[in-house]
Structure 1
Amino acid sequence: MLVELDLFSGRPNPRWRLAPGAAEEFRALTAGLPPAGPAARTPSPGLGYRGFTVRDADRVVHVFAGRVTEGDASRTDPGRSLERWLLAQLPSSLGHLCSVVAEALDGDDG
């Protein structure tokens, strides 16, 4: 399972693989989220942090702003727990990005 942190414009975004146990946990966390209603839409991101994209075989899941989308299906994550969980999976080599993303998550909550 490959995770991409959508953060940069004009240069490659950081990517890393989840360990098998973490991949299973991601699948379970995603499946446990409630479906979003028909009016639920993900806000349009600007520059900077724009969420996570997770690729799992032929499945592509985008996690941003309390929404988890996969194709036409959408789930809600009002506490942004899945985004925070993915941030916690950031490899130590990318640790310098943690505060940038955490600040964006905290700033968007209010």
Structure 2
Amino acid sequence: MAKRRDDGGGAATTARLLIFSGRPDPQWSVGGGELSELLGLVKGVLGREESNRPPQGGLGYRGFLVSQLPVDERPTDIEVFRGVVTEKAGPRTRHWRDTGGIERWLLRQARSRGHGATLDSEGVNEAPEGRS
């Protein structure tokens, strides 16, 4: 499946809720004001507080994958799970503590796009304040 392009000619930023096994995970494009808001959160986290890698997810909720995020003029992919943001820029992978509430923000986005029942069925609540 080809990625939709944004107005700037680059690949569109997408968020994917990692929750299913054996069928496609829900995903959506992030653009406009939402992209600006997400970028602000991400830029406030990357490079701040290093973290250990997150626990490995099993069946059910495994966090989010955000692809083609235009951080510092280069596309970056991040995974967010259990309070850890995993930055995948080129060949390197780094882990940062989610001090900006990125996972909480993405959970709210998923719910606003109609995925609340899916999250509820997996026992996923919004991450508590202070720990995304």
TM-score normalized by the length of structure 2: 0.67
Instruction: Show the counterpart of 1:94.
Output: 115
Q: CA RMSD in A?
A: 2.4
Which residues of structure 2 form unaligned runs of 5+? 1-12, 70-74
Give me the whole-angstrom Cα distance separating, in 2, the residues matched to 1:27 and 1:46: 28
Instruction: Show the counterpart of 2:76.
Output: 59
Q: Deviation at 1:41?
A: 2.0
Within the candidate set 31, 34, 39, 2:43 is matched to 31
Alignment check: 8 A CA contact 1:49 1:104 kept: no
TM-score normalized by the length of structure 1: 0.78
Name the SS of the counterpart of 2:61 in structure 1: coil
Which residues of structure 1 form unaligned runs of 5+? none
Give me the whole-angstrom Cα distance separating, in 1, the residues matched to 2:103 and 2:95: 15
Alignment check: 8 A CA contact 1:2 1:54 kept: yes
Moved more, 48-57 or 28-37: 28-37
Greater share of helix residues, 1 or 2?
1
- The aligned runs of 1:11-22 (5 Å cut-off) are 11-22=23-34
Q: For CA contacts below 8 A with separation 6 or more, give which structure has more relative contact order.
A: 1
Give me the whole-angstrom Cα distance separating, in 2, the residues matched to 1:26 and 1:16: 14
Q: Deviation at 1:101?
A: 5.8
Q: Deviation at 1:17?
A: 1.1
Larger Rg: 2
Instruction: Show the counterpart of 2:96.
Output: 75
Deviations 1:47-101 (A, max 9, x none): 11000000125321100111101122221026x8211100111243333224346
The residue type paired with residue 95 of structure 2 is S
Q: 1:59 to 1:101 in 2, by over 3 A?
A: farther
| Alignment length (residue pairs) | 104
- Identity among equivalent positions (%) equals 35
